Amino acid sequence: MMKFKSNQTRTYDGEGFKRRAACLCFKNEGEDEDLSRPEPAPSVSSHISRHQDLKIASKSPSALTKQDISFNLVLLVSSSRHPDQWIVPGGGMEPEEEPGGAAVREVYEEAGVKGKLGRLLGVFEHNQDRKHRTFVYVLTVTETLDDWEDSVTIGRKRKWFKIDDALQVLQNHKPVHAEYLIRLTTAACGAPCSPSCADRNGNSPVSALTHNSSPHHGLSTHIIDNTESHQAGLNWT
């Protein structure tokens, strides 16, 4: 049986949403060119200064093709609460942590992979049982560790899935996470992201802006737990 992770520091934004970061991790080497279009990690201060009037937004997805989606593999990890179920690696942001850095740290801890961090797919809001706002990035895996933090401490597993298979398992167990892939695949088909997709699961869609826009929410952070934050000190590649 998988052990639960110890309580961690939680950070919240000005509206009481827990701040989270996650990555869709891809295996295909072509992902770097076709999906990621790497960019520097977004700055929270730049979000606030350039988009004070926006509640939530995202960069528009890079151009994808149906072939990209069909043949790429995405990495999922086992749930800490339900070890027979699969989720997208990600977790809460730590105090003073940037979203991109948090996403890289989380996939290192939960999935035992390092890689090339690409674009921000969007910011996803969950309003049902727990209020979350999750920054979701695309990452191309360049290194896979045999043993990693969560595999040793709580017995977490990881597995590569075809996109369609990943969508199916996520929709069955974690429909909020399925919305990340739905947004990605919808962009590949050339159709706009539909708000109706998110409404089914209490997961608000991100607003589509121009390519030069950055995601933003009122990012004044309230720290509930004053325990010392863990500094991973990870490289981005």
Q: Is residue 91 part of a domain?
A: yes
Task: Give the total number of structural domains in the chain.
Answer: 1
Q: Is residue 227 part of a domain?
A: no
Q: Is residue 79 part of a domain?
A: yes
Which pTM value belongs to this model?
0.65
25 contacts 115 by C-beta, under 8 angstroms:
yes
Predicted pLDDT of residue 122: 94
Banded model confidence at residue 49, pLDDT cuts 50, 70, 90: very low
Please determine, for residue 197, whether its predicted confidence score (pLDDT) is greater than 60. no
Predicted pLDDT of residue 9: 79
Q: Is residue 187 part of a domain?
A: yes
Please determine, for residue 208, whether its predicted confidence score (pLDDT) is greater than 50. no
Residue 203 belongs to what H/E stretch? Answer: strand 203-204
Please state, for a pLDDT cut of 90, what percent of the chain lies above it: 44
The secondary structure of 84-144 as a DSSP string is: TSEE--EEEPPTT--HHHHHHHHHHHHH-EEEEEEEEEEEEEE-SSS-EEEEEEEEEEEEE
Predicted pLDDT of residue 184: 87
Query: How high is the mean pLDDT of the chain?
Result: 69
Q: What residues make up the domain containing 158?
A: 19-220
CATH number of the domain that residue 115 is part of? 3.90.79.10
Q: Is residue 2 part of a domain?
A: no
Please state, for a pLDDT cut of 70, what percent of the chain lies above it: 56
Q: Is residue 146 part of a domain?
A: yes
Predicted pLDDT of residue 66: 52
Banded model confidence at residue 69, pLDDT cuts 50, 70, 90: low
Please determine, for residue 186, whether its predicted confidence score (pLDDT) is greater than 70. yes
Predicted pLDDT of residue 187: 63
Banded model confidence at residue 47, pLDDT cuts 50, 70, 90: very low
Please determine, for residue 231, whether its predicted confidence score (pLDDT) is greater than 50. no
- Which one of 109, 110, 125, 179 is the catalytic residue? 109
Predicted pLDDT of residue 116: 94
Q: Is residue 4 part of a domain?
A: no
**pLDDT tens-digit profile of 113-154?**
999 999 999 999 987 667 899 999 999 999 999 999 998 999
| 145/81 Cα distance (integer angstroms) | 23
109 is catalytic: yes
Long-range contacts of 165-168 (CB under 8 A, 24+ apart): 166/74, 166/76, 166/86
Please determine, for residue 97, whether its predicted confidence score (pLDDT) is greater than 60. yes
Q: Is residue 52 part of a domain?
A: yes
